[in-house]
Amino acid sequence: MQVDLKGKVALVTGGARDIGRATSLQLAKNGAAVVVNFNASGDRARAVCDEIRAAGGRAVAVKADVTRIEDIRRLVQEASAAFGRIDILVNNAGGLIARKALGEMDMAFWDEVMHLNLRSVAFVTQAALPHMTDGGAIVNLSSLAARDGGGPGSTAYAAAKGAVLTLTRGLSKELAPRKIRVNCVSPGMIDTTFHDTFTKPEARKATAARTTIGREGTSDDVAKAIVFLASDASSYINGESIEINGGLYYV
């Protein structure tokens, strides 16, 4: 897919690997300058920026832990200082952390999952808004888990991602006076380190076989949908989620 993002500035949280990396590269391919946020993946973030620059694009890598408000504020300030403003915000950072049934959790674990997957979306958005142009676009990352409750031991993650869907709808109304559209993508089984870490190979194969497409998704499958939602090609879409699951689940 080719859309025109020339002159736009995008901030991608968790932009160094998997879906974040693919999104950063696709945004740059379509003309946007990209701020690649990372926390622990510094080498990967710098490699993404090098790849973007080698292709003639503009990119900077900024380290920040998006569960910490001080880091969030600095991230947004550095993004704005680098390119002058923010037109596109992709709230991609998130993760399962661990598979735990409710009976195995303590409050610290619950809070850790919520802070990474939900609170970060709200407060990165809050910090970015004063630097965002009217008519901009925000794309949040939810999950198929938000729809079906997730696999074993992912109840907290599923709950957080379900809340991201609701937050997306609420913000689409709240930011309507500024014509900032807020949408979401909800990936299913995507070939990422998330599933390399937390999902057994046999479970992945079984899930892929249940899709109508007959395979796992790729990070590019998700990134291209994100770029669509970030662009004027989706100018009449607001408060929605694109389900990217190969036909595994219908809304």
* Strand residue runs (E) in 47-173: 59-63, 86-91, 132-141
Instruction: Confirm if 70 and 85 have CB atoms less than 8 A apart.
Output: no
pLDDT at 98: 96
Is residue 72 domain-resident? yes
Q: Which of 157, 236, 249, 250 is catalytic?
A: 157
Confidence of residue 1 (pLDDT cuts 50, 70, 90): low
Confidence of residue 222 (pLDDT cuts 50, 70, 90): very high
pLDDT at 2: 73
Confidence of residue 175 (pLDDT cuts 50, 70, 90): very high
Is residue 181 domain-resident? yes
Average pLDDT over residues 123-141: 98
Residue type, 101: A
Is residue 4 domain-resident? no
Is residue 1 domain-resident? no
User: Which CATH number covers residue 55?
Assistant: 3.40.50.720
DSSP state of 180: -
Instruction: Provide the domain limits for residue 189.
Output: 9-243
Question: Is 157 among the catalytic positions?
Answer: yes
Query: In the predicted model, what is the mean pLDDT of the chain?
Result: 96
Query: CA-CA-CA-CA torsion for 113, 117, 118, 121, nearest 10 degrees?
Result: 150
Is residue 163 domain-resident? yes
- Percent with pLDDT over 90 in the chain: 92
| Cα–Cα distances in angstroms (integers) from residue 159 to residues 7, 16, 133, 142, 199, in the given order | 37, 25, 31, 10, 19
Instruction: Confirm if 245 and 144 have CB atoms less than 8 A apart.
Output: yes
pLDDT at 195: 77
Confidence of residue 198 (pLDDT cuts 50, 70, 90): confident
pLDDT at 119: 98
Four-residue CA torsion sign, 187, 192, 197, 202: positive
Q: Is the pLDDT of residue 140 over 80?
A: yes
Q: The pTM is what?
A: 0.96
What's the token pair of residue 38?
């990372």
Give how many domains the chain has, as a whole number.
1
Report the C-alpha gap between 148 and 170 in whole angstroms: 21
Average pLDDT over residues 107-119: 98
Report the C-alpha gap between 80 and 89 in whole angstroms: 12
Average pLDDT over residues 55-84: 98
Is residue 248 domain-resident? no
